[in-house]
Chains A and B, each alone.
Chain A
Amino acid sequence: MRPTESIAMSLANDAPRFRAGVILALFVMVAAPALLVIYQSVLDAPFFDDNVRFSLDAFRFVLTDPEFYRALWTTTLYAFGMVVVAVPLGGLLAFLITRTDLKGRKWLEPIVLVPMFLSSIVLAFGYTVSVGPSGFVTIAFKSLFGAAPWSIYTLPGIILIGGLSHVPTVYLYVASAMRRLPSDLEEAARTAGAGIWRVSLDVTLPMVLPALVFSAALNLLLGFETFGIPLVLGDPNGILVLTTYIYKVNTIFGAPTYQVMAAVTVFLILITLPLVFIQRRLLRHARRFAAVGGKGARTNLLRLGSTGQAVALGLIGLWLLVSVFFPVGGIVLRAFVENWGEGVRLTEQLTLANFKAVFEIPSLSRGILNTILLAGVGGAIAVAFYLLVGLAGHRNRGRSGTLLDYSVLIPRALPGLIVGLTFFWLFLFVPFLIPLRATLISLLIAYIIVGLSYGLRIIQSTLLQVAPELEESARITGASVYRSWRDVVIPLVRPGLAGAWAMIMIVFLREYATGVYLMSSGTEVIGSLMVSLLTSGAMDQIAALSFISIALTAVGLTLALRLGAKLHD
């Protein structure tokens, strides 16, 4: 056994109490909502009802409801359809941007990621205004070509939009795998006379296959959890997915029937947990596989040639047009007009009234401030928390490390709406939590849980960049494990933490479902205000809030890039 290995072994067992404490606390935080959902699903009334009894009626209802099977089938189609759209496109984009000498790839990268930072509810609104049946793009297209042969309200339309908006997720993983690939194999193939497509298909593709498979699994998972796009685009035509089905069973009985919502969520957990397992397994392989190249390998870029450049830029341009310009353009337009559509002269409609209303209404302007506060300060607190968790899991090969793995999985399987509802109850019924309920802290805790897997992934990958030798040498010279973290690891990852903070900020800005049940007067947040305005149909304010949300996200993204956020790990 080499000495470093034995030190690594002993390092693993360091600070067991700290590790166990943090991980246990995290486990309680994530298990509580999941357990509450499972418990609620086997009752015949709200769990707090005086006459509540155990019953499997909720499951019986769900399993005999044809709508449930329809929603399940639609969700499956949606999830797989999304994969079919997003994975090849995301892979191609990653290849073009990381492995070729594509012009402008430096500034293309942040733009390519934009759809990922917009809440899907905002995206979907934007699409109705631009490419809906009366959208400005549709009308322009019709006047040019006589007809507009698409409909965004059909299942294929919704799948296409969902798929396009998830291209960045694929891009992130595949691009990071591709960056780690040495270029010698590609060069060898090029020298032997293979064309660029041949090289990408026969050399690059097989090497990043694990990352592609991984991102496919991830997208499948995201597809099952999807809410905003089907809610806005599918609902009016009766296209239901599991999450909107949950939303609907909440109203169909008149009074909310939590047991049925909970039962559907249990099914969602049963479907998604295996996916999460597969995904984590793949991740482990992907990392191992991608590490082949090592650090020394220098990447030489493939040359596209002028035709290649034109084709590639054209393709990316088209994708950007559809995935960024259409939705963002739609929102921007809607925010500055009151009427739009066929026969409406937009120039006559320009107005700032929508924004005026937002700033005049206390709850809405407060919502903007709260959102900034929650994203900025809350994001920093979240990063601190993720760092604690990250350290607790850092080079942790003990049993608590396994528990950590499980804890991170659980929130992935719960829709944000349900996390919010269960936290609302926890803050209502758990005595020591009661004083926090009407504060932003309750929202922050729920947000931390919802953002856990994403945030922890950023932190973990940052922590892994610190070479173990550095920690080990600190330990050998007599530093305690805490001291080695404080004086070695944390200073080294500090730039990474700043970037992580900016990324978490964007994630919190984007969130909408979690706050729906949790917020109250004084703790409004933009995303959830949009959902509650949606129920009364105040589109003017929704559009203005969406615009503000996009603007804030742009600020966050700029900040993230300034702070050196790694958009890829």
Chain B
Amino acid sequence: MITRRHVVAGAGALTAVTMAGNRSAIAQGVPAGYPAVYGELVDKAVKEGAVSIYTSTDDVQGRPLVEAFRVAFPGIRVDYNDLGTNGAYNRVISEAAAKQVGSDIVWTSAMDLQMVLVSKGQAETYKSPEAAQLPAWANFNDQLYATSVEPVAIMYNKSMLGALKPPQTRAELIAFLQANKDALKGKVASFDPEKSGSGFLFFNNDARTTSDTWELVRAFGGTDPKVYGSSGAMREKIASGEHWIAFNLIGSYAIEWAKKNSNLGVVLPPDHAAAFSRVANISKGAPHPAAARVFLDFLLSQRGQTAMAASGAPSIRTDVSEGLNIAKLNEMAGGKLKPIPVSAALLEASDPKTRAAFFQKWKQALRG
């Protein structure tokens, strides 16, 4: 198995080779299957010299992608800004209003906020040559592209659960929480939809697409529930044994963590295989428009997707063999993987009335 570190080291070595040998960015800049005129775009991009990314993917996870891009396009510097989902949104609308656009690519996991940016006219329309490789639901009007498929999962601490049999499906999870209500007091964690955009996306999507969501939240509510703003925070508490089981956390991370810690178990419940995507757009009035296009194409390309899959973001393409991809995930979920489509329906999630109604139900259900 190739670990992230190997990929990074390899990428570094490749960079050195590229720098020393062939310095022509153009020669290697036109990937197979792209129109011949693409060389001109790369030329322009190299002239622009930089591409600025606003993202919620932290530097640790984003690094392999950035390194791979640097190898492919040594002439284009990547300014990588991990701002979080809200931070990225805040900066984009503020900069647009001040006519000081600083982002070329906005790439976050807040599918709904990204769709709001599109609806506010903050996204450029660009048909990527890679678009044909993506499922239809992953491209919204050539303005917003899904770049990964990340299922939600159940994660648990094997030794802490002990004799309790970990639930394998969503239905079992509900029964599990109900039956072991007292044993699980303070031991169950999940995303906080109030504080985390991803948490809201998951639960709201659950509520819209499955009938047993509120039953689950009620069962969760019966266990003196703990809610967190990130999957990483949940991992910390599950691994340390402070909590025993968490659900609706980001499955691709959980799978990576379980590889490194044999005491962690992960379940992708086949009866509930919702998946979200990190979505990317090109900013309206991007300061480096050509570099932005080149980066977006790379992000969707096999090489870019391979780099991302290496750091735990499963590929949306079926031809990526590194890590997980959409086809493998679908297989693991018994053919029932249900990605949240990139569509105008996402706007509903940012409507204050929808949210208010959701939170009212959420709080009520949590009280049991």
Interface membership of B309, Cβ < 8 A: no
CA–CA, A534 and B241, complex, Å: 20
Q: Chain A: interface residue count, which band?
A: 35 or more
CA–CA, A536 and B235, complex, Å: 11
Report how many A-B pairs have Cβ atoms within 8 Å: 163
The stretch from B52-60, B169-177, B293-301 touching chain A is B52-60
Q: Which of B52, B86, B232 contacts A256 (CB 8 A)?
A: B86
Which residues on B sit within 8 Å (CB–CB) of A343? 159-160, 241, 263
Interface membership of B97, Cβ < 8 A: yes
The stretch from B40-48, B135-143, B348-356 touching chain A is B348-356
Contact A360 B79, beta carbon cutoff 8 Å: no
CA–CA, A522 and B80, complex, Å: 9
Contact B81 A250, beta carbon cutoff 8 Å: no
Contact B57 A536, beta carbon cutoff 8 Å: yes
Contact B233 A253, beta carbon cutoff 8 Å: no
CA–CA, A532 and B87, complex, Å: 9
Interface membership of B195, Cβ < 8 A: yes
Expressed in whole angstroms, the minimum distance between the Cβ of B185 and any Cβ of chain A is 12
**Residues of A513-569 contacting chain B, CB below 8 A:** 516-517, 520-522, 532-541
Contact A538 B196, beta carbon cutoff 8 Å: no
Expressed in whole angstroms, the minimum distance between the Cβ of A560 and any Cβ of chain B is 32
Q: Chain B: interface residue count, which band?
A: 35 or more
Q: Which of B195, B260, B355 contacts A254 (CB 8 A)?
A: B355
Expressed in whole angstroms, the minimum distance between the Cβ of A134 and any Cβ of chain B is 4
Q: Which of A133, A252, A434 contacts B100 (CB 8 A)?
A: A434
Expressed in whole angstroms, the minimum distance between the Cβ of A243 and any Cβ of chain B is 14
Q: Which of B98, B228, B261 contacts A338 (CB 8 A)?
A: B261
Contact A238 to B231, CB < 8 A, known contacts A254-B350, A536-B57: no
Contact A251 to B56, CB < 8 A, known contacts A341-B239, A520-B81, A539-B232: no
Expressed in whole angstroms, the minimum distance between the Cβ of B231 and any Cβ of chain A is 5
Cβ-closest chain B residue relative to A334: B236
Q: Which of B56, B240, B261 contacts A342 (CB 8 A)?
A: B240
Which residues on B sit within 8 Å (CB–CB) of A339? 239-240, 261, 263
Interface membership of B17, Cβ < 8 A: no
CA–CA, A445 and B351, complex, Å: 37
Expressed in whole angstroms, the minimum distance between the Cβ of A64 and any Cβ of chain B is 12
The stretch from A401-409, A422-430, A454-462, A500-508 touching chain B is A422-430
Interface membership of B230, Cβ < 8 A: yes
Contact A341 B100, beta carbon cutoff 8 Å: no
The stretch from B88-96, B267-275, B314-322, B337-345 touching chain A is B88-96
Contact B83 A532, beta carbon cutoff 8 Å: yes
Contact A48 B58, beta carbon cutoff 8 Å: no
Expressed in whole angstroms, the minimum distance between the Cβ of A203 and any Cβ of chain B is 48
Expressed in whole angstroms, the minimum distance between the Cβ of A261 and any Cβ of chain B is 11
Other than the given A251-B194, A254-B349, A537-B231, 6 more pairs (CB < 8 A) read A236-B192, A254-B355, A255-B89, A521-B81, A534-B230, A537-B232
**Residues of A near any B CB (own CB < 8 A):** 46, 48-49, 132-135, 235-238, 247-248, 250-256, 338-344, 357, 360-364, 424-425, 428-429, 434, 437-438, 516-517, 520-522, 532-541
